[in-house]
């Protein structure tokens, strides 16, 4: 069945499969949101069913929670876990310092809360997500619905003095209505093209009234697992300063693909 996957999906799968090896019995694990994170949840579900892995997962969205329960993972809340051993999540972009843009799936607030309540964060991504400078992917900013146009105007004003190439802002839509996060908020997507100083921008954005959180994850990610379409994975550890590469077997009869 893996032969039917596109190279991008193969890359996401091998990254997720390798990252699933970080999860050990008894852990409390944050489970990310998005297409790559969904592969992780499926891989972990297979380890629960086939290997008897026992851990508890804290999902970062309602759809991740639904998938986790579906594949047999015990789901708990962050309040029940209190603190996590590990969070594994995807990213829309990452750079050489493992700074991230996240929120393309609309779950950036829960994702950031869960990631920062963890001893370690591991990002899983296909190789196309690596960039020299963040910003090609629109930066999501979650805002409360009340006065969102005023918040947008304040963001536009703040961007004038920021080191960015573009300043277009669009309200994320879901059909004919504004997209709503799990918390009922809106998302403004900032089309910046290039972000020269992500740390400064993240701090400025979160000072604007109405802004709940932004999609810049700075000094949060510890390791990144990069998948390639030929089955290779590269693991980079920002703290240890190490990089390793290995080949992940793509089993044609893998049970993981029976419902895909």
Is there a binding annotation on residue 237? no
Is there a binding annotation on residue 193? no
Could you state, in chain order, the average pLDDT of each consecutive group of 10 residues for the chain (260 residues)? 79 97 98 96 98 98 97 98 98 98 97 98 97 98 98 98 97 98 98 98 98 98 97 97 92 55
Return the pLDDT at 192.
98
* Cβ contact 133:194 at 8 Å: yes
The angle subtended at Cα 62 by Cα 57 and Cα 66, nearest 5°, is 65
In angstroms, the CA 258 to CA 127 distance is 26
In angstroms, the CA 16 to CA 60 distance is 16
In angstroms, the CA 112 to CA 227 distance is 23
The domain defined by 2-130+219-257 carries CATH number 3.40.1170.60: no
Return the pLDDT at 4.
81
Is there a binding annotation on residue 129? yes
Catalytic residue among 111, 142, 183, 213: 111
Which pair of tokens denotes residue 70?
A: 């579906």
Q: What is the pTM of this model?
A: 0.94
Query: Would you put residue 184 in left (φ > 0), alpha (ψ -120 to 50) or beta?
Result: left
Asked if 46 is an active-site residue, the reply is no
Pick the CATH number of 139-212 from 3.30.1490.20, 3.40.640.10, 3.30.70.260, 3.40.50.720: 3.30.70.260
Where does the chain hold its CATH 3.40.50.1360 domain(s)? 2-130+219-257
Where does the chain hold its CATH 3.30.70.260 domain(s)? 139-212
Return the pLDDT at 255.
56
Is there a binding annotation on residue 92? yes
- The torsion defined by the Cα of 123, 124, 128 and 134, in degrees rounded to 10, comes to -10
What is the DSSP annotation of 8-74?
HHHHHHHHHHHHGGG--TT-EEEE--SHHHHHHHHHHHHHHHHH----EEEESSHHHHHHHHHTT-E
138 in helix, strand or coil?
coil
Contacts 24+ apart (CB under 8 A), 156-159: 158/204, 158/205, 158/208, 159/190, 159/192
Return the pLDDT at 253.
52
Is there a binding annotation on residue 227? no
Beta bridge partners of 227: 126, 233
Return the pLDDT at 110.
97
Is there a binding annotation on residue 215? no
In angstroms, the CA 160 to CA 173 distance is 25
């Amino acid at each position: 069945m893996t032969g039917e996957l596109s190279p991008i999906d193969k890359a996401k799968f091998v990254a997720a499969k390798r990252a699933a090896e970080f999860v050990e019995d008894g852990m409390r694990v944050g489970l990310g949101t998005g297409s790559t994170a969904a592969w992780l949840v499926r891989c972990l579900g297979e380890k629960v069913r086939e290997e008897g892995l026992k851990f508890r997962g804290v999902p970062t969205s309602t759809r991740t929670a639904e998938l986790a329960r579906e594949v047999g993972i015990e789901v708990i809340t962050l309040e029940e876990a209190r603190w996590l051993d590990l969070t594994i999540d995807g990213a829309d972009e990452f750079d050489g310092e493992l700074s991230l843009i996240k929120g393309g799936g609309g779950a950036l607030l829960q994702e950031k809360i869960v990631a920062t309540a963890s001893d370690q964060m591991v990002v899983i991504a296909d190789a196309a997500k690596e960039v020299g400078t963040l910003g090609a992917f629109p930066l999501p900013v979650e805002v409360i619905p009340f006065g969102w146009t005023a918040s947008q105007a304040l963001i536009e004003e703040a961007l004038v003095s920021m080191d960015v190439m573009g300043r277009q802002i669009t309200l994320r839509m879901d059909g004919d209505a504004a997209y709503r996060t799990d918390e009922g908020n809106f998302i403004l997507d900032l089309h910046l093209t290039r972000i020269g100083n992500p740390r400064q921008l993240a701090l400025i954005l979160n000072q604007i009234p109405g802004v709940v959180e932004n999609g810049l994850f700075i000094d949060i990610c510890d390791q990144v697992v990069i998948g390639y379409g030929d089955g290779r994975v590269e693991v980079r550890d920002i703290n240890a300063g190490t990089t390793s590469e290995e080949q992940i077997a793509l089993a044609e009869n893998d049970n993981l693909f029976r419902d895909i």
